[in-house]
Structure 1
Amino acid sequence: MPIKWIVLIIAIVMYALIVIFPGKKSFSSLGAAFLMVILGVISPGQALGELVNWTVLMIFVGSLIIAELFIYSRVPAVIADSIVSHSPNVGIAIVAILMMTGIISAFVENVATVLVMAPIALALCKKLELDPTYFIVGLAVMANLQGTATLVGDPPSMIFADHSGYGFNEFFFFEGKPSIFFAIQIGMIAGAIFFYASFAKKGGTKVEIEQEKILTIVPSVLLILMILGLASCSFIYGGISLASGLLVMILGIAGILWYKFIRRESVEKVRDLIKGLDWDTVLFLIGIFVVVGAVAEVGLLDDFSAFLSSIVEESVLMGFFIILAVSILISGFVDNVPYIIVMLPVASKMAAELSLKPELYMFALLIGSCLGGNLTPFGASANIVSVGILKKQGVLLNFSQWLKIGIPFTLITTAAAAAFVWIVWR
């Protein structure tokens, strides 16, 4: 059997295992990567030295640490309390908290954002005797939405940045045009309108809640330094550079040292903080980098690109729609990280064959694959967490009930963001 087909079978089996056993996804990807090396498709040196993007991993781990410390500081909770107390009515207060959750999630890991905002949402729902379903699900889908907006929002954004040569700044403006950040903000506005329609009937009262107190501002300073540092590295070096990875990692380590020696937290708490980071995704990414590198090495990506191009032919709109629709459907049911790694070079090649700017198709891919995760209760980790939070409150949210929120929200936000991309980048 030709090696190309063996590689394809391994990749398909890996995907299947990820879908069936999502809690063991790192074992699936690392196992597949090991097979690629054993079969000689790629060498160990090539796997670790060329294919695994250590800069992306440093940014991911460092930003996770800063996110955990930011939540520990209680700053997000204090901001949320202030929003509620200054909102004229319940409907606006709830939508404002959902929008704030999204904005925080553009810089902080999605699950962590949902976990810190959920108690605020639940307390508000209890006070007003509201069903918490829409509010808690709203936290998850808004967090997933905004995770696409910046370089540090989500792993797919980091992978996109590495492939396209984008730095932190290019997520805002590229070649003088508004970039993916603004497309996502259009989507967020559309999503906010959707949720306000759900809560508008509760809009006649003003809510008073007990104010939280800020524990420390140091993590906020670290977060600001990370943003400013990434913006500076993007301006100086362009794209994702080693300096970007080192900067975020150093800030993360500095945060841990501050947590231990300045805050004088116990060794157990420091260990729990480090152990609680998403190491499974780190290992998963290492394996996926290697597997997708092997898939590209044997020419499967070129074959897939040619197949899609034969379907699209000369229709730019058809290509845009197919990438968007397929991305939404796939990401609603399987992890979007391996999908986007595979599809980025395919989308770029399709755009080149049609003499288009690659951003048109790559932005469609990023929007579809990230926002598509909102479609189902297991399309993103934040969704799974939100279902668990509701279950603890005695609210059982099944698949069909999620779809009643997930389908309209996904279609509305994706359509709004995609329309912006089409108008600006066509």
Structure 2
Amino acid sequence: MQMKWAALCIAAVMYVLAVAFRSRRVYFSTLAAFIIILLGMIFPGELFVLPKDILAMDDMTGMRLYAFAYSIGTAVQWNLLMIYTGVMILTALLVYSKVPEKLSSLLLGTVRIPALSMVLVFISAGLLSAFIGAFPALVVMAPVVVSFSRQLKFNPAFFLLSVAAVCSLEGSAFYFASPASFLFSEFSGMALFHFFIVSGKVSLFFIAQAALLAGALFFGLYFSRTVKGEFFVARVRIVSLVPVLLLALTVAVLIACSMTPIRFIYVSGFAVLIIAIFGLAWFYLFQKKTIAEFFDFLKNLDWNTVFYMIGIFIVAGALKKSGVFDDLAGIIVSHCGTSRLRIFVIVFVVSVFAGAFLDIVPYLILLMPVIGIVSNSYGFSGNILAAAMVAGSCIGTGFTPFTSLTMQSALSVLKKENCEIKLLDWVKNVLPAAVIMAAVYAVLLWFLWK
């Protein structure tokens, strides 16, 4: 068996174990990366194709070390990881500041009609998740949803899980929305502002908001049958506006970096990380936190995803260097016919199911390069297939109540509120809107980007 197929088997086993044991997925990606590098060093040139300059030197030590050097230096997208880490810290500080919660309470306080207020909850949750991520947005909106439901005397289960589904939809809407949006931006070369307009076309942010509006209207009509009465919105006091200013500075820095021909590829990552460090210093010094509180704040951040992605990048790098991506792309092209619409639908639908039942981070890292090759084979001029892949997988996480961190967090809140939900009830009450949002997103993406 060729070494590249051994690497593919390692990637497949890692993926299965990561899905089956999600809480320990970082161990599986790290172990897979270690095995990949070890095989590359034991069999130089078999797994990682060696550059001509190293072959010309005929240095066996250099050949063996190439697997490690390429994996750590090239395969791992350090700039992306630094940006992701910095934004993760800044969005956590933003949630701490209570600014998003204040904006939501002000929005709800202007409307006294329950059904319309529910629509506003969905819209505000979606917009928040586009800019701070699905999980932080749900953390902000969950108390609002539970309080709203209790006051109007109905079960908050479907309402909260529907909000979680809406938050999941926004995973591809903006640069800060999710790991998926970061990966798509890195793969496609899309800068932050390209999520609004790209090549003169309406981009993913506005497409996602159209799908969000369709889902919000459905939920409003659906819940209006049972939601009656009056409610009040609790007042929220803002802790500080500093995190908002830091996040705004981050946006400005990322836009400036994308518009400047800078040779140092890590400049945007270092810049965002430095801003995040200033944010942490503000949190510790000016918010007068103890060392225990400071480290507790850091501990609650999603470090697992950061280290998880490092391992997957290394595995993906080996698959790319060994030619597996080209082979997989050839298989897809040979079995999907010549219709561009057919391949678009296949990629979108498969990605929805992947998001519904699997872990989308390795799915995107491992298969997005394959989709890039397929896209060239079908003559697509833009990144429509990659966008379909990212959008489908993000929307798919809202198709089931147990795959994403956002959904699991919603279920955890409901458990504390002694609210149970059966899978059949989920299928009847929440899934239809998720299907509507997916359909609207796919149709608009095809007609606007094809």
TM over 0.5: yes
1:3 aligns with 2:27: no
- Say whether the 8 Å CA contact 1:81–1:209 is kept in structure 2: yes
Matches of 1:89 and 1:138, distance apart in 2: 19
Return 339-348 or 213-222, whichever deviates more: 339-348
Residue 106 of structure 1 aligns to a residue in which SS?
Answer: helix
- Say whether the 8 Å CA contact 2:77–2:313 is kept in structure 1: yes
- Say whether the 8 Å CA contact 2:133–2:178 is kept in structure 1: yes
Q: Which residue of 1 aligns with 2:196?
A: 172
Pairing partner for 2:310 from 276, 282, 286: 286
- Say whether the 8 Å CA contact 1:92–1:203 is kept in structure 2: no
How much has 1:243 moved relative to structure 2? 2.7
How much has 1:202 moved relative to structure 2? 5.1
Return 195-204 or 69-78, whichever deviates more: 195-204
Pairing partner for 2:403 from 345, 370, 379: 379
Counterpart residue type for residue 117 of structure 1: M
Matches of 2:302 and 2:32, distance apart in 1: 20
Counterpart residue type for residue 392 of structure 2: G
CA RMSD of aligned residues (A): 1.8
- Say whether the 8 Å CA contact 1:73–1:216 is kept in structure 2: yes
- Say whether the 8 Å CA contact 2:158–2:430 is kept in structure 1: no
Counterpart residue type for residue 301 of structure 1: F
Alpha-carbon spacing, 1:287–1:116, altered in 2? closer, same or farther (3 Å): same
Identity of aligned residues (%): 31
Q: Which residue of 1 aligns with 2:298?
A: 274
How much has 1:306 moved relative to structure 2? 1.0
- Say whether the 8 Å CA contact 1:98–1:142 is kept in structure 2: yes
Matches of 2:23 and 2:433, distance apart in 1: 26
How much has 1:405 moved relative to structure 2? 4.1
Pairing partner for 2:114 from 86, 90, 100: 90
Return 284-293 or 298-307, whichever deviates more: 298-307
Residue 332 of structure 1 aligns to a residue in which SS?
Answer: helix
Q: Which residue of 1 aligns with 2:36?
A: 36
How much has 1:397 moved relative to structure 2? 2.2
1:231 aligns with 2:249: no
Q: Which residue of 1 aligns with 2:60?
A: none
Matches of 1:294 and 1:400, distance apart in 2: 42
Residue 260 of structure 2 aligns to a residue in which SS?
Answer: helix
Please give the per-residue CA displacement for 1:147-179, whole angstroms capped at 9, x wherever unaligned.
211112111111111111111011111111111
Please give the per-residue CA displacement for 1:276-314, whole angstroms capped at 9, x wherever unaligned.
111110110000101111112222211111111112221
Matches of 1:169 and 1:270, distance apart in 2: 33
Residue 296 of structure 2 aligns to a residue in which SS?
Answer: helix
- Say whether the 8 Å CA contact 1:90–1:202 is kept in structure 2: no
Please give the per-residue CA displacement for 1:96-137, whole angstroms capped at 9, x wherever unaligned.
122111111112132222122111111111111121012211
Q: Which residue of 1 aligns with 2:347?
A: 323
- For structure 2, the residue ranges without an aligned partner over 5 or more in a row are 41-46, 49-66
The size of the alignment, in residue pairs, is 426
How much has 1:208 moved relative to structure 2? 2.2
TM value normalised by structure 2: 0.91
Matches of 2:219 and 2:169, distance apart in 1: 14
- Say whether the 8 Å CA contact 1:73–1:217 is kept in structure 2: yes
Q: Which residue of 2 aligns with 1:195?
A: 219
Please give the per-residue CA displacement for 1:177-235, whole angstroms capped at 9, x wherever unaligned.
11111221111111111211222235665532331111111111112222222222223
Paired residues for 1:65-80 under 5 Å:
65-80=89-104
How much has 1:88 moved relative to structure 2? 3.5
Alpha-carbon spacing, 1:139–1:20, altered in 2? closer, same or farther (3 Å): same
- Say whether the 8 Å CA contact 1:168–1:239 is kept in structure 2: no
Structure of larger gyration radius: 2
- Say whether the 8 Å CA contact 2:79–2:265 is kept in structure 1: yes
- Say whether the 8 Å CA contact 1:84–1:207 is kept in structure 2: no
Alpha-carbon spacing, 1:65–1:288, altered in 2? closer, same or farther (3 Å): same
Q: Which residue of 1 aligns with 2:63?
A: none
Q: Which residue of 2 aligns with 1:13?
A: 13
Matches of 1:315 and 1:377, distance apart in 2: 34
Matches of 1:381 and 1:57, distance apart in 2: 19
- Say whether the 8 Å CA contact 2:191–2:255 is kept in structure 1: yes
Q: Which residue of 1 aligns with 2:56?
A: none
Paired residues for 1:26-175 under 5 Å:
26-40=26-40, 41-42=47-48, 43-175=67-199
Residue 417 of structure 1 aligns to a residue in which SS?
Answer: helix
Matches of 2:174 and 2:264, distance apart in 1: 12
How much has 1:238 moved relative to structure 2? 9.1
